[in-house]
Amino acid sequence: MSQAFNNTQPIYLQILQRLCRQVVRGEIKAGEKLLSVREMALQCGVNPNTVQRVYVELERLEIAETRRGLGSFITEDEARLKRLRKQLKNEQIENFIADMAETGFSPEEILAGVREKLPDNKGRRRD
């Protein structure tokens, strides 16, 4: 791994986001064990304390449960994971549309722009 962490976003939030996305797209399944704090820290090139913060937050969100001495596990609650999927979808779309509107782009321009950049639009690409 050892990705960049370029952003101005705190690293722990970036790791949190990455884990949530891995769960939503099924790369990590319900009930599955996460890497230990120390392993994940090694893999990310980050301090264990930073990963610890991620796992605490995941537990607060009820996306993972930690069992002392055993490790952290993604929740078995599939309904919770479905909610997470919907939540991420809504948030990402709504934030995007709000950003675009604030920058002055019309709904038509937004829709056209998205269609243009989408992977398999039917030959509408321009750039």
Contact residues for DNA, defined by CB under 7 A: 8-13, 34, 36-39, 45-50, 52-53, 55-56, 66-72
Q: How far is the CB of 4 from its own copies (least distance, A)?
A: 14
114 lies in the site for its own copies, by CB under 8 A: yes
Q: Which two tokens stand for residue 66?
A: 């930690």
6 lies in the site for its own copies, by CB under 8 A: no
Q: Which residues contact 77 (CB under 8 A, 6 or more apart)?
A: 30, 62
Extended strands (E) in the chain: 64-67, 71-74
CA atoms of 113 and 116, how far apart (whole Å): 5
Residue 50 touches which of DNA, its own copies, none (Cβ within 5-8 Å per kind): DNA
Partner residues linked to 64 by β-bridges: 74
For residues 116 and 126, the answer to whether their CB atoms sit within 8 Å is yes
Residue 28 touches which of DNA, its own copies, none (Cβ within 5-8 Å per kind): none
- Chain residues binding its own copies by CB under 8 A are 8-10, 13, 21, 24-26, 88-90, 92-94, 96-97, 99-105, 107, 109-111, 113-115, 117-121, 127
